[in-house]
Structure 1
Amino acid sequence: MTTTPASTPVEVDGAHPVRSVFRLLGRYRSRVIPSVLIFPIKDSPQWLMPVVTASVIDLVVSGGPLNQLAFWAAVAFVALAQNYPTHVLWTRLFMGAVRQSGADLRNALAARLQSLSIGFHTSVSSSILQTKVVRDVENIELMLQQVTHAVLAQAMVITGALVVTAITMPYFLPVYALTIPIAVLMRSLLAARSRRRNEAFRQDVEIFASRVGEMATLMPITRAHGLEETAQARVAEGAEGVRTSGYELDMLNGRFQSLSWVVLQLLSVGCLVTAAWVAITDPGTITAGQVVQLSAYFGLITGGITQVLMLWPIASKGIESVRSVAEVLAEPDLEENEGKAVVTTVTGDLRFERVVFRYPDARHPALDGIDLEVAAGETVAFVGPSGSGKSTLLNLALGFIRPTGGRMLLDGVDAATLDLRTYRRQVSVVPQESVLFEGSIRDNITYGLGDVSDEQVRKALDDANAAEIIDALPDGWDTVAGQRGARLSGGQRQRIAIARALVRNPRVLLLDEATSALDPESEALVRDALARLMRERTTLVVAHRLSTIRGADRIVVLERGKIVEIGRHDDLIARGGRYASLERAQQVPE
């Protein structure tokens, strides 16, 4: 059975996690409210069976009549039999709402992550974000599944016990009243310490996840330099942090669970002894069946409260996960696009006017007073030492970051007034190392485009010098590329990435060291494919290898965030300036 997601946006407040949980479930009140109304019927055996047991015992003591025995047997049968269909219905309604709420949270996190700035994503480990989307939402679902059922069941038992006892033996009500303040007191004693321990455990898990992700990413470097023990020690340090904080949390929960069980069981024994004492010392005040009924009720109440308290660690973990999810959903570092003008067509004119960009907490700007105009269809290359601002300039051209000073114009319009997501639909990027996802090669090429004809895909492959790759594979372009394109070589991945760019027919093209990691043969094929890709498109190229950009219309030399030279290759060489010195440094002596 499918559920249509609620139209209201997901709101999670880390300062008020419990309120956020109720708000989350409130999105599906048409399912939650009926499930809560069904619960008293479903769980009626919990409070009704002690009444049946007490009545049967009194019938045995008094010797009949048998027709009353049949009546109570029928009551017990109906009460127990109805539990199956009502429990299935309750599960369908309530757990349907819980699972849909979990899906809503995951979708909201994915949408938020797509809206957050590139600066945020470069500063936060992807493994930590994955933990929030997978583990934390699972913790919230588990909390709603287990704690809600226990709380509702206990509420039904307490209500039934109080009502029946008030009718039959009202003078025993004060004994029941002892359990609630004791449970509240014990929970309040645990709350603050439990929150601190759960927060510490969650943070240690995130650190560990980050280190595992780093280990996987750095595996080739680690193995190449024989640093296996170093990498293992770094992960082991994170695992030790998880073990220590998890053990401290387990010890806290263990002490609390044992203490709560002992206290509540002592109360249960006290109730039984008190009822028996009254029955013995004042015969006729209370029957043997009522002694059993009181003991059963008190046992159910104390057992139920014990169960709820035992589930407190799960509730604490779920509440901490709500706070964790809220960290992402409330993160203010957004790429500001909402409500801005939609870009429908792109010519490819780019202009930087006195552009300044400074990263947070940086002592010096990454770009300082950049004045540059790129005409539609022009190829402009950016060179310079590491840290000169090349990649920052590309990120500005993509709209990943916005100038902290000056402005950037796209086709004569201030980029600050545009929804840059719509602009980027007509932009393609070929990075130094192209990443393919786990799917067919065709799916990787047409990613996000919907219906693309086989003819378009084939032409893109031909122009990217990638047709031979496809023809050599047993399943052609239906071959699964493997995770991150692991089944293809670096040169093959680059040519598939170029085919992906070609099939989009972009107006603006950004090449970021697109050939620097390739062998000479692969580089020749990729450069030939790039030449076709760059035709009649505005192209910005970042390159360390100056031999790859000699044909650019203009070469911009950057140093410490400033433009120090602009010109064609031959002119800059003849000028004998900074570009010429970079060229000489790259020449291999005979």
Structure 2
Amino acid sequence: MENEKKKLSAYYKPYKGLFLADMMFAMIGAAITLVIPLMVRYITGTVVLLPIEEASSTIIRLGIFMVLLVIVEGYCNYFIGYYGHVMGAKIEHDMRNEIFGHYQKLSFAFFDNQKVGHLLSRITSDLFDITELLHHGPEDVVISAIKLLGAFIILLVINAKLAFVAIGFVVIMLLYAVAMNGRMRGAFRENRARIADINSQIEDSLSGIRVVKSFSNEKTEMDKFEEGNSRFVDSKKKSYRYMGTYNSGMGVFSTLITVGSLLMGAWLMMKGELSAADLVTFLLYINNFTEPVKKLVNFTEQFQNGYSGYERFVEIMNIAPDIKDKEDAKSLDRVQGEIQFEDVSFHYSENKENVLSHVNLDVKPGEYVALVGSSGAGKTTLCSLIPRFYDVTGGAVRLDGIDIRDVKLKDLRRQIGIVQQDVYLFAGTILENIRYGKPEATDEEVVNAAMAANAHEFIMSLPEGYNTDIGQRGVKLSGGQKQRLSIARVFLKNPPVLIFDEATSALDNESEKIVQHSLELLAKDRTTFVIAHRLSTIRNAERILVLTEDGIAEEGTHESLLAQGGIYAGLYNMQF
């Protein structure tokens, strides 16, 4: 925990000047609140006893000085309210960049087990609470310490007996705060988990809104949301019960300090040990005594919120990417495209049963290889090992004879183009989506890629051509159009190795023919892996591999495999 605190404090480093200025103005503002009651004591206890003319001029001078102090205090509060929050926003920006950058480094294995809503919650509401703590926390503690210590010293000078009555109540208040601290922390942590569940539910429901409406399941979604929302209310109730007990207890102690001081002061006045001016001053300082304690109460609440958020932030940041560059990873420029699987085995981290076992495969540069087999045979998994979306658990995958684990990830993935069945297009224009394949590409290169993918004609028929906004995930386009854009993206990337993951299986016959033609153009002179659902699309493949749970069961051309009368022939006859 100590180490985490050091890490948290490191976020102030780039804004050290702003932080120190914030602390300085907080201290000046706190000091002014201590000075004004002393001036009131001087006026009520000394000035009013002077001759009227002298008293009048002194009061005017002191009044002007007090107004100036109030103006300075006002500016101090403005500075810490504005610049302090700006510092907090900048720290939030840095932390958000850090966690988003970390998300980008994590592998598919991490995202397979996470809900987007939970990840979103850590990058939005959690970070806001952390930076509120980083901004307000130190300044609240400094202001409270100055006011508490300063007020106590001044009250001690005025009357020691009265001062110890007040400090006695303050000590009890702080002990009470510490006792409630642990309970509140657990409750706030539970609140965070519940709001993350709600975010996840909203993201899931709104992303699938077309499915929801097509099944008329709005009520089902509402019921699911209501269940999560109710759990959130229950967790809030628990935290509010602790907060209610906490705040009411603190309120009682604050009032008791005033009552106790007033009764003790009255008794001391009767004994002649305290003047009326001193009692008035003392009661003015009681506010300076109790207000910082209340600030500390707010700080503890803020601390629970912010620190539980920071724990969740650290939890994610401590997840080391399981797929990353070796320290001595090699750079890789253009490659020939030879792919070798040497005794490759693989299983997912949460399941020790092998998806692939002792697979050996040698694919020459420019070769067109089709993978077929029943669902769950490991076709997609086999192809996912080539760009290192997952790492082999046994054996090695080689690109041009080099173990892909020895190559820089960015260089490796730059050599591989993937066209999937489920096309993901980003919200934005067609131009932006195609250019995603090569961010530095010129408009002319984008148009050429679209032409090669048979997409130019339909793009030009749209109202704004390449500048047409396609909506979230490309909802304004047909399946065939989306697929052609994804192919154009890969044409633009121009990689030597291609993976087609059932790229046409979701399309109608007409769209399939157009897309299939685009895929064949793209595959020309490139090493190509095709995961095929429709066997009609791979009849012309130079090499067809039949995958089963035991590995590569059959290998050959379409005609030779049919002649064998084995697994492939059975799959083909089932389809035709």
TM-score, length-scaled by structure 2: 0.94
Asked if residue 564 in structure 1 is aligned to residue 564 in structure 2, the reply is: no
Q: Distance in 2 between matches of 1:246 and 1:508?
A: 53
The match for 2:116 among 126, 144, 155 is 126
Contact 2:377 2:548 in 1 (8 A): yes
String of CA shifts for 1:95-148, please: whole Å, max 9, x gaps. 333222111111111111111111011111111111111111011122334444
1:550 CA drift (Å): 1.7
Question: Secondary structure of 1:341's partner?
Answer: coil
Q: Which amino acid in structure 2 is aligned with residue 291 of structure 1? A: L
Distance in 1 of aligned mates of 2:470 and 2:11: 39
Specify the alignment match of 1:545 in structure 2: 534
- Partner of 1:474 in structure 2? 463
- The residue matched to 1:376 in structure 2 has which SS? coil
Deviates more, 1:293-302 or 1:370-379: 293-302
Matched residue type, 1:540: F
Decide whether the 8 Å contact of 2:109 with 2:349 is kept in 1.
no
Q: Secondary structure at the match of 1:45?
A: helix
Is 1:251–2:241 an aligned residue pair? Answer: yes
Distance 1:420 1:18, change over 3 A: closer
Q: What is the SS of the residue equivalent to 1:388?
A: coil
> Do residues 346 (structure 1) and 298 (structure 2) align?
no
Asked if the contact 2:166–2:257 (Cα under 8 Å) also holds between the matched residues in 1, the reply is: no
Task: Select which of 107, 115, 125 maps to 2:105.
Answer: 115
SS in 2 for 1:73: helix
Unaligned runs of 5+ in 2: none
Select 1:419's aligned residue among 404, 408, 412: 408
The residue number in structure 2 matching 1:204 is: 194
Distance (whole Å) between structure 2 residues aligned to residue 471 and residue 532 of structure 1: 21
Specify the alignment match of 1:40 in structure 2: 27
The yes-or-no answer on 1:24 pairing with 2:14 is no
In the alignment, the residues of structure 2 paired with residue 363 and residue 160 of structure 1 have an alpha-carbon distance, to the nearest angstrom, of: 64
Shift of 1:349: 1.1
CA distance in structure 2 between the aligned counterparts of 1:224 and 1:578, rounded to whole angstroms = 38
Give runs of aligned pairs for residues 169-568 of structure 1, distance below 5 A: 169-282=159-272, 285-339=273-327, 340-447=329-436, 449-568=438-557
Query: Of 11, 15, 37, which residue of structure 2 is paired with 1:50?
Result: 37
Q: What residue is the counterpart of 2:94 in the other structure? A: 104
C-alpha distance in 1, partners of 2:539/2:81? 68
Deviation at 1:434, TM superposition (A): 1.2
Distance 2:3 2:208 in 1: 39
- Give the drift of 1:223: 3.5
TM-align CA RMSD: 2.2
What are the superposed Cα offsets for residues 549-576 of structure 1, whole Å, 9 maximum, x if unpaired? 2222211111115110111112111111
Contact persistence 1:32–1:93 (CA under 8 A)? no
Name the CA distance, whole Å, in 1 between partners of 2:408 and 2:169: 59
The verdict on how the C-alpha distance between 1:19 and 1:198 changes in structure 2, with shifts beyond 3 A counting, is farther
Relative distance call for 1:73 and 1:561 in structure 2 (3 A) is farther
The structural deviation recorded for 1:580 is 0.8
Contact 1:433 1:490 in 2 (8 A): no
Q: In 1, distance between residues paired with 2:86 and 2:391?
A: 43
Partner of 1:368, secondary structure, is strand
How far does residue 60 in structure 1 lie from its aligned partner after superposition? 6.9
8 Å contact from structure 2 (residues 30, 143) kept in 1: yes
Question: Residue 91 of structure 1: CA displacement?
Answer: 4.7
Q: In 1, distance between residues paired with 2:493 and 2:89? A: 37
* AA at the equivalent of 1:298: I
Q: 1:512 to 1:200 in 2, by over 3 A?
A: same
Amino acid aligned to 1:385: S
| Preserved contact between residue 428 and residue 509 of structure 1 (Cα < 8 Å) | yes
Specify whether residues 441 and 251 from structure 1 end up closer, same or farther in structure 2 by C-alpha distance, changes over 3 A only. same
CA distance in 2, matches of 1:36, 1:518: 63
Alignment-mate amino acid for residue 56 of structure 1 = I
Q: Which residue of 2 aligns with 1:4?
A: none
How many residue pairs are counted as aligned between the two chains? 572
Alignment of 1:141 with 2:131, yes or no, is yes
- Encode CA deviations 1:52-88: one digit per residue, 9 max, x unaligned: 2222333575365223212321221221112344444
Confirm or deny: 8 A CA contact 2:166 2:260 kept in the other structure: no
- DSSP 3-state at the match of 2:547: strand
Matched position secondary structure for 1:551: coil
Q: Which amino acid aligns with 2:302?
A: I
Amino acid at match of 2:41: A
Which position in structure 2 is the counterpart of 1:8? none
Letter of the 2:278 counterpart: Q
Q: Report the AA paired with residue 40 of structure 1.
A: M
- Mapped to 2, the partners of 1:35 and 1:310 lie a distance apart of 19
- Would the aligned equivalents of 1:343 and 1:423 in 2 still touch at CA under 8 Å? yes
- Cα deviation, residue 374, structure 1: 1.3
Q: Which secondary structure does the structure 2 equivalent of 1:439 belong to?
A: coil
Residue 78 (structure 1) aligns with? 68
Q: 1:142 to 1:176 in 2, by over 3 A?
A: same
Deviations along 1:471-519, whole A, 9 cap, x unmatched? 1222221122211112212211111111111111111111111111111
SS at match of 2:124: helix
Structure 1: gaps (5+ residues): 1-12
Residue identity in the other structure for 2:264: T
Aligned-partner residue type, residue 235 of structure 1: F
- CA distance, structure 2, for counterparts of residue 156 and residue 34 of structure 1: 16
Whether contact under 8 Å (1:257, 1:310) holds in the other structure is no
Say whether the 8 Å CA contact 2:453–2:518 is kept in structure 1. yes
Is the contact between residue 29 and residue 77 of structure 2 (CA under 8 Å) also seen in structure 1? yes
Question: Contact 2:25/2:76 (CA < 8 Å) preserved in 1?
Answer: yes
Paired AA for residue 270 in structure 1? G
Q: Over residues 416-438 of structure 1, what are the superposed CA-to-partner deviations in whole Å (9 max), with x where a residue is unaligned? A: 22222221122221111211112
Match of 2:146 in 1: 156
Task: Tell me how far apart the structure 2 counterparts of residues 85 and 286 of structure 1 sit (CA, whole Å).
Answer: 36
